[in-house]
């Protein structure tokens, strides 16, 4: 007798119907040892949640916080490469894994299988968002420089950055200058533009402001 199919509850969270239909259709047509379902008991928890980061575009992410803190579901972000700030927000909230909408049918099914078997670390498809994958790493900036730059982009003054990160004001200025050199920026405005283009969060930044510090 063949091996019985394992039922896996996959919850697709997205505000865009075409994305929901596309992902669901792929999984419904998949063959293999997994029986994919899209509904479960009222008080139950999905095995895997495919969470489209576009949900963060209009909301505060409370639903994502609940999934990460109060369920045992494996949450995988559906990242949007054209909106890197949304992926950044999801990662900041604690999402550890991501896929993109460029994923193929075979790859999506493989990711679900790896998720339910606990083998995502061995996945060739799912991107792991770990501590080493901090913003700006590709440009050669350090984790601390990344932290400082993030607060610059969000509109914090140098003193606020110092207070937040428990640094001296001179240390903050040193980190900012070294970051400027690495990203070829000569002003705070240029650094902010670069950071936004590379996925840094922007909640507190107001384009009408023209900070004069460094």
The answer, yes or no, to whether residue 142 has pLDDT greater than 60, is: yes
- % of the chain at pLDDT higher than 70: 90
Does pTM top 0.85 for this prediction?
no
Per-residue three-class SS string for 62-121: HHHHHHHHHCCCEEEEEECCCCHHHHHHHHHHCCCEEEECCCCHHHHHHHHHHHHHCCHH
Average pLDDT over residues 46-62: 91
Q: What's the pLDDT at 8?
A: 92
The answer, yes or no, to whether residue 208 has pLDDT greater than 70, is: no
CA 157 to chain centre: 26
| φ, ψ at 77 (rounded to 5°) | -75, 140
- Supply the CATH classification number for the domain 137-197: 1.10.10.10
pLDDT tens digits along 149-164: 989 998 999 999 888 8
Q: What's the pLDDT at 206?
A: 42
Q: What's the pLDDT at 46?
A: 93
Q: Classify 6-128 by CATH class.
A: alpha beta
Average pLDDT over residues 69-84: 89
Domains of the chain: which residue ranges? Answer: 6-128, 137-197
The answer, yes or no, to whether residue 31 has pLDDT greater than 90, is: no
pLDDT tens digits along 101-111: 989 999 999 99
């Amino acid at each position: 007798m063949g091996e019985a199919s394992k039922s896996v509850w996959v919850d697709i969270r997205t505000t865009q119907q075409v994305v929901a239909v596309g992902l669901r259709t792929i999984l419904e047509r998949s063959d293999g040892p997994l029986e994919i379902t899209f509904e479960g008991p009222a008080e139950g928890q999905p095995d895997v949640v495919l969470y489209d980061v576009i949900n963060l575009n209009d909301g505060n992410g409370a639903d994502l916080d609940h999934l990460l803190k109060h369920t045992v579901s494996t949450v995988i972000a559906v990242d949007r490469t054209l909106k890197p700030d949304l992926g950044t927000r999801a990662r900041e909230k604690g999402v550890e894994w991501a896929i993109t909408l460029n994923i193929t049918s075979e790859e999506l099914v493989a990711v679900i299988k790896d998720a339910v078997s606990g083998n995502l670390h061995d996945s060739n498809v799912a991107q792991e968002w770990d501590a080493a994958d901090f913003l700006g790493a590709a440009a050669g900036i350090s984790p601390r420089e990344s932290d400082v730059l993030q607060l610059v982009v969000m509109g914090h003054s140098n003193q606020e950055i110092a207070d937040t990160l428990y640094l001296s004001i001179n240390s903050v200025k040193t980190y900012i200058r070294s970051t400027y050199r690495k990203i070829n920026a000569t002003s705070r405005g240029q650094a902010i533009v670069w950071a936004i283009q590379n996925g840094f969060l922007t909640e507190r930044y107001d384009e009408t402001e023209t900070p004069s510090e460094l």
